Amino acid sequence: MPELRKDPITNRWVIIATERAKRPMDFGKVPEESKGAFCPFDYGNEYTTPPEILAFRPKESQPNLPGWWIRVVPNKFPALEPGLKMERYGHGMYDAMTGFGYHEIVIETPDHNATIATCEEKQIEEMIWAYKARYKALAKDPGIKYILIFKNHKRDAGASLAHSHSQIIATPIVPKRVQEELSGAQTYFQYKERCVFCDIIYQERMESVRIVEETDLFISINPYASRFPFETWILPKQHTHDFGEIGEVQVQEFATVLKKSLLRIYKSLDNPPYNFLLHTAPTTGEGKQSFHWHLEIVPRLTKVAGFEWGSGFYINPTPPEDAAKYLKGVEI
Amino acid sequence: MPELRKDPITNRWVIIATERAKRPMDFGKVPEESKGAFCPFDYGNEYTTPPEILAFRPKESQPNLPGWWIRVVPNKFPALEPGLKMERYGHGMYDAMTGFGYHEIVIETPDHNATIATCEEKQIEEMIWAYKARYKALAKDPGIKYILIFKNHKRDAGASLAHSHSQIIATPIVPKRVQEELSGAQTYFQYKERCVFCDIIYQERMESVRIVEETDLFISINPYASRFPFETWILPKQHTHDFGEIGEVQVQEFATVLKKSLLRIYKSLDNPPYNFLLHTAPTTGEGKQSFHWHLEIVPRLTKVAGFEWGSGFYINPTPPEDAAKYLKGVEI
């Protein structure tokens, strides 16, 4: 049974996955997936995953059989479990919580070798619709405070399967980094009576040196204080705190800007490992005026992370102005 | 000229290393160091590093020549530079600072192939004395607020040279993660009128299931809310906020516990990559009652860091109680 534990110094919650506990010998080097290896996300292997929660498939096709173009399933090895009763308890001076929550997998394409940077924009739109559908459904659970949508691309970014997929984790608490953004944005709002993200968009459009892509409704930038080389954020230009409110035109433009931004990274940096994370407001409604949803793409190019992890102090060897120049310079 | 930039949302400072700016082609895979390759930290190659700041060497030996057993030099490619005037300035809505600070390398041994987990305890004592000497010297600069001592072991933990060394970065600001610990410890102190770290030591000694090593003056534990598998903290048992005050008996016992803890990790996990970080109070004197210096060792066993980076939400697949059992189980 997974358990959430709170660090008594920083109040940071950690998921301790007690069920599938790893022993020292389990940490050996994992080889890259071999060609032709069995893949649970391929057509015909649907029976090897837990039954699908959502699938975009022709009306006449059967659930858990081929024909789908997007498929969402519970994670077979979940970090959190929906079946648990949410309960807080103490352990001496420490605080803990049952590992209640949801952990789902969005299989982004039936094509084992496809990568979203190079696939049809239409497919990315569908992926975003799947994100929205699951977001709305999970937000209805009153025990859930936050829904985090993210993607690990390639093994060096934490992907354990090569077949293109993203993940959704719904938690009974707001993750620390999101809470920091919420609190920081709230402080800025109190001082300026404006959204800090809206101000960033204004400043970036004025300077025009860190913009990667721009449409009527979306912008993608290399942020001024980028932690990582080629870090790229995508933001809706109009103030919206809640990703769940995304509409049809926005989905189209978000797909365009996401695809183009990823393709520029793919071409400039030779299809690097990356993570992306969607930061939206908590499902509790907090941050309506001050928060602004966005997606952060972090290419995994450097290994210097241990120091950064431990100190929160980042050293970025590529100024974002240079990164934007390189990214805009490639033909797509 | 390096520049410090502040993220306007979270107020996190980032070092933008503009001098040695990396282009896309600079991020290719770096091969492991080949046997017999030139090493600037070996005897006879002292002339290839900037002149030494401190060296433990026989009285009759000459600076910047062989004979030393510990040698401290400025980083040839520093993230921060002591020659810059500390200046804060604005850039539109953004905040920045000149990249003033210190970045030094502690060469821990002249032996190219030695590793501190298996070397003589005496050598680790000397390393700690070098840390203390540089700590005291850098703390005298009124522009410096924080001194971070850390080590990257092996390439996968960010070490660019195989020869055993650690780093010291002195900064004009307190790194975010340290600030979080300081504030959290302060809040706990206000509520309990006790140091949270002292309480952790008490609780751990009472439960006795997460202790790795213990002497009269030091304890090493796998913390209750460990973020990473086999994460290990070393703390002085007596309340002390300032590492700079460490005395002779403490240095000896700290060396013993550090060596034994590292050796247990080395043996249990087959000499894994790791980082360690020394968290002490800022040089401004803050945290005298509430903060407690300690060293955090983080073996780099999992690749799932992208999600964790972006969310601050850690999933740890090895409960600390299991980690302690494995670590204590190996013969050393």
Distance of CA A190 to the CA centre of its chain: 28
Q: Name the A residues in 301-320 with CB < 8 Å from any B CB.
A: 301-307, 309-320
Residues 6+ apart with CB under 8 A from B142: none
For the ranges A47-56, B278-287, B303-312, the lowest mean pLDDT is seen at B303-312
Ordered domains of chain B (ranges, CATH): 3-23+37-176 (3.30.428.10), 178-329 (3.30.428.10)
Chain position carrying tokens 């605080």: A95
* Average pLDDT over every residue of B127-146: 97
Residue numbers in A near B152 (CB within 8 A): 304, 306-307
* pLDDT value of residue B18: 73
* Average pLDDT over every residue of A240-252: 97
Catalytic one among B165, B241, B279, B292? Answer: B165
| Candidates A177, A272, A316; nearest CB to B15 | A316
ipTM of the complex: 0.93
Chain position carrying tokens 């940490």: A27
* pLDDT value of residue B30: 61
Note whether B274 contacts A: Cβ–Cβ < 8 A.
yes
Q: Is A153 a catalytic residue?
A: no
Percent of chain B scored above 70 by pLDDT?
97
Per-residue pLDDT of A75-106, as tens digits, reads 998 889 999 999 999 999 999 999 999 999 99
Global pTM? 0.95
Q: Which residues pair with B167 in a beta bridge?
A: B105, B150
Structural element, H or E, at residue A104: strand A102-107
Catalytic one among A103, A163, A165, A292? Answer: A165
* pLDDT value of residue A302: 78
* Average pLDDT over every residue of B290-315: 84
* pLDDT value of residue A160: 85
Mapped onto helix, strand or coil, the DSSP state of residue B240 is coil
* B309, pLDDT greater than 80: no
Provide the pLDDT confidence category of residue B306 given band limits of 50, 70 and 90: low
Q: Name the A residues in 104-163 with CB < 8 Å from any B CB.
A: 148, 150, 152, 155-158
* A30, pLDDT greater than 80: no
Provide the pLDDT confidence category of residue B260 given band limits of 50, 70 and 90: very high
* B246, pLDDT greater than 90: yes
For an interface test with B, which of A7, A32, A155 has the most B Cβ atoms less than 10 Å from its Cβ?
A7
* pLDDT value of residue B184: 97
Under a CB-based contact definition with an 8 Å cutoff, are residues B104 and B73 in contact?
A: yes
Token code pair at residue B295: 């060293």
Note whether B206 contacts A: Cβ–Cβ < 8 A.
yes
* pLDDT value of residue A20: 66
Per-residue pLDDT of B6-21, as tens digits, reads 999 999 999 998 766 7
For an interface test with A, which of B303, B325, B330 has the most A Cβ atoms less than 10 Å from its Cβ?
B303
Token code pair at residue A34: 């071999």
CB atoms closer than 10 angstroms to residue A188: 20
| Candidates B24, B224, B311; nearest CB to A148 | B311
* Average pLDDT over every residue of B178-199: 97
For the ranges A108-122, B20-34, B309-323, the lowest mean pLDDT is seen at B20-34
Mapped onto helix, strand or coil, the DSSP state of residue B26 is helix
Token code pair at residue A109: 């394409």
DSSP assignment letter at A60:
T
B74-to-A278, B15, B44, B275, B288 alpha-carbon distances in Å = 40, 18, 18, 20, 30
Q: Name the A residues in 282-301 with CB < 8 Å from any B CB.
A: 296, 298, 300-301
Mapped onto helix, strand or coil, the DSSP state of residue B219 is strand
Residue type, B285: G
Q: Which residue of B has its CA nearest to A280?
A: B311
Q: What phi and psi, each to the nearest 5 degrees, are found at residue B111?
A: -75, 115
For an interface test with A, which of B29, B198, B224 has the most A Cβ atoms less than 10 Å from its Cβ?
B224
Alpha-carbon gap, residue A59 to A56, rounded angstroms? 9
Per-residue pLDDT of B86-116, as tens digits, reads 999 999 999 999 999 999 999 999 999 999 9
Per-residue pLDDT of A103-159, as tens digits, reads 999 999 999 999 999 999 999 999 999 999 999 999 999 999 999 999 999 988 888
B59 CB burial (10 A radius; 0-12, 13-18, 19+): exposed
Chain position carrying tokens 């520093």: B78
The overall average pLDDT reported for chain A is: 94
Q: What DSSP assignment string belongs to A180-239?
A: HHHHHHHHHHHHHSS-HHHHHHHHHHHH-SSEEEE-SSEEEE--TT-SSTT-EEEEESS-
* B304, pLDDT greater than 70: no
Note whether B225 contacts A: Cβ–Cβ < 8 A.
yes
| Candidates A18, A270, A306; nearest CB to B300 | A306
For residues B33 and A179, the model is more confident at A179
The overall average pLDDT reported for chain B is: 94
Token code pair at residue B74: 């400025």
* pLDDT value of residue A92: 96
| Candidates B5, B303, B319; nearest CB to A18 | B319
* Average pLDDT over every residue of B182-186: 97
Give the torsion sign (CA, B129, B79, B307, A85): positive
Token code pair at residue B242: 């300032």
| Candidates B225, B306, B312; nearest CB to A275 | B306
Do the chains contact at B318 and A171, CB–CB below 8 Å?
A: no
**Shortest Cα distance from A190 to chain B (angstroms)?**
13
* pLDDT value of residue A157: 87
User: Exposed e or buried b for every residue in B155-177, given b needs 16+ CB within 10 A?
Assistant: bbbbbebbbbbbbbbbbbbbbbb
Distance of CA A133 to the CA centre of its chain: 15
Cα–Cα–Cα angle for A27, B212, B164, rounded to 5 degrees: 65
* pLDDT value of residue B26: 81
Alpha-carbon gap, residue B192 to B177, rounded angstroms? 22
* pLDDT value of residue A29: 62
Note whether B188 contacts A: Cβ–Cβ < 8 A.
yes
Residue type, A168: I
Q: How many Cα atoms are found within 13 Å in the side-chain-facing hemisphere of B254?
A: 25
* B310, pLDDT greater than 90: no
Alpha-carbon gap, residue B62 to B68, rounded angstroms? 9
Structural element, H or E, at residue A128: helix A121-139
Under a CB-based contact definition with an 8 Å cutoff, are residues B98 and B1 in contact?
A: yes
A60 CB burial (10 A radius; 0-12, 13-18, 19+): exposed
Smallest CA-to-CA distance from B144 within B177, B85, B101 is with: B101
Provide the pLDDT confidence category of residue A262 given band limits of 50, 70 and 90: very high
* B290, pLDDT greater than 70: yes
Provide the pLDDT confidence category of residue B155 given band limits of 50, 70 and 90: confident
Per-residue pLDDT of A272-287, as tens digits, reads 999 999 999 999 989 9
Residue numbers in B near A9 (CB within 8 A): 181, 184-185, 188, 196-197, 200
* pLDDT value of residue B124: 98
Mapped onto helix, strand or coil, the DSSP state of residue B248 is helix
Residue type, B53: I
Token code pair at residue B3: 């520049």
Give the torsion sign (CA, B12, B18, B24, B30): negative
Q: What phi and psi, each to the nearest 5 degrees, are found at residue A105?
A: -115, 130
* A298, pLDDT greater than 70: yes
Percent of chain A scored above 70 by pLDDT?
97
